[in-house]
Structure 1
Amino acid sequence: MESAPLEFFKRLLDTPSPSGYEEPVQNLVRDYLKPFADSVETDLHGNVIGAKNTSAPLRVMYAGHCDQIGMLVSQIDEMGFIYAQTIGGWDPQQLIGQRMVIWTSTGPVPAVIARKPIHLLTDEERKTVVQTKDLWLDIGAKDQAEAKELIRIGDPVTLKLGMEEMRNGLANAPKMDNTTGLWVAIEALRRADKLNCALYGVSTVQEEIGLRGAKTSAHGINPQVGIGIDVFHATDCPTMDKRQLGEISLGKGPVIFRGPNFNPKVVDLLVEAAESYKIPYQLAALGKPAANDSNALQMSQAGCAAGCVSIPNRYMHSAVEVISLEDLDNSATLLARFAEMIDADQDFRP
């Protein structure tokens, strides 16, 4: 991977973007798009839309959501401890003992989230799965007044951010879901050349709370072809059910989905692009609507020929989501070549 795109990826991972608070990441996306996109726009919902060859009648949209799961400050108690609601789908067990950051109007405030030590838990408490409402954030404040000088109700909270590289080209970070998909959507737009279609790379907002940004941006673009780009569960680690999820491994290429959510001609062309350009890929089956932006794309306006390309991810919705940087690179190349292979009058009706 080239150094500039890799640096952009790392900056995205370092920047908070819980659903509803995506502006800092969207600012980075806009700046990155400007040198190579024919147009860069931000709609009223906050989706950032970069495009090339916009005069072409056949419109192709790549959607990578920029938001991450997070928390939202809901109460500051008399001792200065802070309680929060979740934004998106958390496993509360993942939060215990984590370093967190509260993102205030005056800057980030470090915090930790925990519960009482195991030495003090009763036998019944040890057997009970902790609930988010029973966890609190500690910023080191001496009382409520000090905490309120820094923190306001509604301030967003994330895990402490940052990427760590590992062996064999792997890397871990919070918010790989879906910084990977966002990066691929924008990088595929940058790499695509000699287009016969109009290509839109969209950084969508609020996927984690209901695919909201994909709905609004697709309504504005009205694409005939739309690809949702996200992460999918890697099964090359213990306890994963390969019978249902399939054989999905880090480093073996992007995942192309087949199933009722996905237009068969789009799927076939994705596979053809991968095989023609010798890009490794993996197939996965999904018998229901996807829980990502490809779901919203398929149902936009009068319908869209939808597809889904995903980056394999271990430990999704945790502080240590693991991906392969090679998979990331190959995903962007696959989608750039896919767009270049689309004819101006291609018919994607099944």
Structure 2
Amino acid sequence: MSNYVAPAFLTELLRAKSPSGAEAQAQAVYDQFVQPHADAYANDALGCRYATLNAKGAPTLMFAGHMDELGLIITYVNKDGYLYFDTIGGHDLSIISGRRVIIQTANGPVKGVTGKRAIHLMDDEDRKKVPKKHEIWIDIAAGSKAEALKRVAIGDVATYDHEFELIHGSVGTARAFDNKVGAYVVGEALVRLKKEKAKLGAKLVSVATTQEEIGVRGATTSAFAVDPHVALAVDVGHATDHPDCDNRRFGETKLGGGPIICRGPNINPKVYTRLVECAKKAKIPYQLEADPRPTGTDARAIQMARGGVACGLVSIPLRYMHTPSEVVDLEDVENCVKLFVEFAKSVKGGESFNW
């Protein structure tokens, strides 16, 4: 049993069910914990949340972390009351079967189980195959289509029923560290800056973005709206310290090693250098990763907004990404918050990151 105490803001975000396009529960948590500390607070048509400090400062600094997660969406109910679905975000189809799920409906949550034909009823060839989406269903113990449709509706979304739990020390598991930790980092950094009454040169806008898992959509529109000069995106990154992960192919990053600072064409070199300087100044452990193309994060959209944005990317090491039991060391999350706070305080009034 772990004695580590996880922050309430983070645990509430992890408890929230918020598949892309249905982020209401995560929005409510962000509103509760961040809005009281912001000088200004707003939302938009895609559901993003904008918290601002030092509105008269310049340049404009944007922090972005997405609050959506993977999910399922109900597409069809057969005559016997079994639900069929499509996936929201990038699922590994081999691990969907046999899971408990919670469906969000107009009348509250409905519990179910993902089912497929048992191994005993398969021949040798069937056992070798990964089931296709239409070969898996959700069983809510309904006796007919009519009964099922009284409880759920086409378009309702579902998430795995796997809740946050600490495994050992500060290492925990949850179904959606990706990317509730990122939304937490950008919100918590603003809260701490406000509480310490930090003298900022920049205007800071911390954005909890939506719909990242289906194409960085919230980051695309929010970066246009904020019109930042410089931005930091935060997401989860692959910890490559587990078996069957070749460092020659995937680099070397580990759980508990600190935030991962990215280098590559998606990253402004001045922002990268500043992040490393801030980490060293504050004695924050950090790791490096190299990515030769637009990253699979909000950073790729933010960098290309309007006339271009000086963009940085920090990732939190995570094992088993896009599974129901992702694993993160919460000390890495804490160090990421500290790094964002240091970066915000380092930006001087009138500073340019053009190069």
Shorter-chain TM-score category? over 0.9
Partner AA of 2:248 in structure 1: R
**2:254 maps to 1:253:** no
| Cross-structure match for 1:116 | 117
For the residues of structure 1 that align with 2:113 and 2:6, how far apart are their CA atoms? 32
- The equivalent residue for 2:70 is 69
| CA deviation vs aligned residue, 1:315-337 (integer Å, no higher than 9, x gap) | 00010000001000000010101
Unaligned runs of 5+ in 1: none
Deviation at 1:133, TM superposition (A): 1.6
Report the AA paired with residue 152 of structure 1: A
Please give the root-mean-square deviation of Cα atoms over the aligned residues, in Å: 1.2
8 Å Cα contact 1:13/1:161 also seen in 2? no
Hey, what's the Cα distance between the residues in 1 that align with 2:98 and 2:349? 54
2:255 and 2:341 map into 1 onto residues whose CA distance is 21
Uncovered stretches (5+) of structure 2, i.e. residues with no partner: none
The question of 1:230 aligning with 2:235 is answered yes
Alpha-carbon offset, residue 114 of structure 1: 2.0
Deviation at 1:244, TM superposition (A): 2.8
SS at 1:34's partner residue?
helix
Matched, 1:187 2:188: yes
Match of 1:59 in 2: 60
Indicate conservation of the 8 Å contact 1:58/1:198, yes or no. yes
Deviation at 1:46, TM superposition (A): 1.1
Superposition deviation, residue 168 in structure 1? 3.3
SS state at 2:31 partner: helix
Deviation digits for residues 111-139 of structure 1 (CA, Å, limit 9, x no counterpart): 10021111111111011121112100001
1:16 and 1:161 in contact (8 A); partners too: no
Corresponding residue for residue 151 of structure 2? 150
Match 2:318 to one of 284, 304, 313: 313
| Aligned-pair CA distance for 1:161 | 4.0
Alpha-carbon distance, 1:239 to partner: 0.8
CA shift digits 1:287-317 (9 cap, x unpaired) = 0100110000100000000010010000000
The 5 Å alignment of 1:145-224 reads 145-192=146-193, 193-224=198-229
Partner AA of 1:30 in structure 2: D
Shift of 1:30: 1.3
2:332 equivalent among 289, 307, 327: 327
Q: 1:241 Cα deviation (Å)?
A: 2.2
Deviations 1:41-96 (A, max 9, x none): 00122110001001112001111001101110000101110000111111111211
Name 1:10's counterpart in structure 2: 11
Q: Do structure 1's residue 126 and structure 2's residue 131 form an aligned pair?
A: no
What is the CA-CA distance between 1:4 and the residue it aligns to?
9.7
Q: Is this contact kept in 2: 1:14–1:161, CA < 8 A? A: no
TM-score, normalization: structure 2?
0.96
* In 1, Cα distance between equivalents of 2:250 and 2:262: 11
Distance of aligned partners of 1:111 and 1:64 in 2 relative to their CA distance in 1, 3 Å threshold: same
Contact kept, 8 Å, 1:185 with 1:332, in 2: the verdict is: yes
TM-score under structure 1 length normalisation: 0.97
Q: In the TM superposition, what is the alpha-carbon distance from 1:190 to its structure 2 partner?
A: 1.5
Between the aligned partners of 1:4 and 1:216, the Cα distance in structure 2 is 36
Q: Which residue of 1 aligns with 2:99?
A: 98
Letter in 1 for 2:60: R
For residue 244 of structure 2, what is the aligned residue in structure 1? 239
Secondary structure in 2 aligned to 1:178? helix
Runs ≥4 in structure 1, deviation > 6 angstroms?
A: none
Q: Are the equivalent residues in 2 in contact too, given 1:5–1:187 (CA < 8 A)?
A: no
User: Which residue is 2:292 aligned to?
Assistant: 287
**Aligned-pair distance for 1:170?**
0.3
How much does 1:145 deviate?
1.4
Report which stretch shifted further, 162-171 or 267-276: 162-171
Measure the CA separation in 2 of the matches of 1:241 and 1:299: 32
2:276 equivalent to 1:271: yes
1:35 offset after TM fit, Å? 2.2
Cα pair 2:79 2:144 within 8 Å, conserved: yes
Q: What corresponds to 2:79 in structure 1?
A: 78
User: What amino acid maps onto 2:307 in structure 1?
Assistant: A
- Does the CA contact (< 8 Å) of 2:209 and 2:222 recur in 1? yes
